[in-house]
Amino acid sequence: TSCGILVTGGAGYIGSHTCKALAQTGYAPVVYDDLSNGHEEAVLWGPLVRGDIRDTARLTKAMADHDVFGVIHFAGLIEVGQSVHRPDLYWDCNVNGVAAVLEAMRSAEVGRLIFSSTAACYGTPPNDSPLSEDDSLNPINPYGDSKLAGERMIAAYCAAFGLTAVALRYFNASGVDAEGQVGEAHYPETHLIPLAIEAALDATQPLTVFGDDFPTDDGFCIRDYVHVTDLAQAHVLALEVELGASGFEAMNLGRGRGSSVMEVIDAVAKACGRRPAYSLGPRRAGDPPMLVAEPSRAMARLGWTPAFTDLQAIVDSAVAWRRHRRFGAPASLKSVA
C-alpha cells in the first residue's frame, strides 16, 4: 500500500518537524514548497518538489507522481501583523492555496487532508476559560480570517465530495527537534521565544515586550506554548483517525497551560544563563490578552499526549538549537513587507 504523504510547506518550521515524525512512523513524506520562507536544508526525509501553492496542476502532478494518499497542508503566510497591512497577500496565498490543494486532491483522488489551522480563528476569547472547539469563531485579523475561510472551504469539500479532513488549530508552536536536525528560523523573526533568546545571547539584539497592562495576573500577555515535536506527532496521528459523517473535524493543539511573556523571558534567562534586555512597547495590534487551549478533543480523538509538559524544557530545546546550528535566510526570500 502507498505510504506517500504530500507535505506542503514541508521545508518550514512545523512542516520539517512533521516530515521527520512521518519518516519515523514509516510514511514517505514528499515536500512541496517554493522555498519563499522554507529552507532547503530542512528537507531531509524525502524529495522536494518546488512549486507555488496556488498551482493546481503542479500539485496534482506531485500527488500522482509520488503515489500520495494524504496531504498535510502547511504552506501559507503566518504573520498576524503583516496580514493587517497586506491582507491581499493573505487572502491570495492562504485561501487560493487551500482551493488549489483541494482541487488537486479531487483530480488525483487523494482522500485525506490535514490542515494547519490556528488559535487565531477564535479571535478574542469571551472569558478566561481555555478555548474549546465549540467556542465561537470570530477572527480579529486577516490572518485568522484567511485560515478560518480555509477551514470552511475544506469542510464544504468534505461534505460535497467525500474527502476527509482534520484542521489542527495550533496555539504557540515553539521549541526545536531534540536532535537538532531541523529548527526554527524565520526571516525576519517575529516570535517571542527566538527573539528573547537572540537578545539574551547577543546584547545588541533588541527585544520589545508588547504591553504590560493586560488584564492578567502579571499584566503580560498569556499564550499556550506547545512543542513543535508534539505538534508534529498530532499530524501523524490525524492521518489515520476515523472521522464522523461530516468527514471534517477541527482540533486544538496546545498544552492547556498558559505562560506570560515575562515567564517566557524568565525561562530564556535560565536556559541562557543571562537575562535578555528588553524595552517595553505598546500592545501589538490583534493580540488578545490570553489564548490557552482546551486540548482534550485532540487527546481523546487522536490519542495525543504532549511529551513536553513544561515551558522550561521547550525553551531549553530552542536555546540548544540556537547555540549549535542555524538556518540562513532562504536564497529566494521575497520581500513582501
Site residues for ligand UDP per CB under 6 A? 80, 172, 190-192, 195, 208-210, 221, 223, 261, 284, 287
Question: Closest approach of Cβ 192 to ligand UDP, in Å?
Answer: 4
> Coil, strand or helix: which one is 217?
coil
DSSP track, 68-82: EEEEEE--S---HHH
Q: Point out the residues that are catalytic.
A: 143
How many Å apart are CA 96 and CA 166, to the nearest integer?
19
Q: Which residue, judged by CB position, is nearest to ligand UDP in the bound state?
A: 221
Question: Closest approach of Cβ 129 to ligand UDP, in Å?
Answer: 18
SS3 per-residue string spanning 121-187:
HCCCCCCCCCECCCCCCCCCCHHHHHHHHHHHHHHHHHHHHCCEEEEEEECEEECCCCCCCCCCCCC
SS3 per-residue string spanning 84-132:
HHCHHHHHHHHHHHHHHHHHHHHHHCCCEEEEEEEHHHCCCCCCCCCEC
Question: Closest approach of Cβ 197 to ligand UDP, in Å?
Answer: 12
Question: Closest approach of Cβ 314 to ligand UDP, in Å?
Answer: 12
Question: Closest approach of Cβ 203 to ligand UDP, in Å?
Answer: 16
* Cell numbers given for 313: 524544557
Alpha carbon separation from 125 to 128, 129, 139 (Å, rounded)? 7, 8, 10
Q: Which is nearer to ligand UDP, 60 or 118 (CB)?
A: 118
Q: Which is nearer to ligand UDP, 98 or 261 (CB)?
A: 261
Q: Which is nearer to ligand UDP, 51 or 130 (CB)?
A: 130
Q: Which is nearer to ligand UDP, 208 or 305 (CB)?
A: 208
One-letter identity of residue 121: C
Q: Which is nearer to ligand UDP, 126 or 206 (CB)?
A: 206
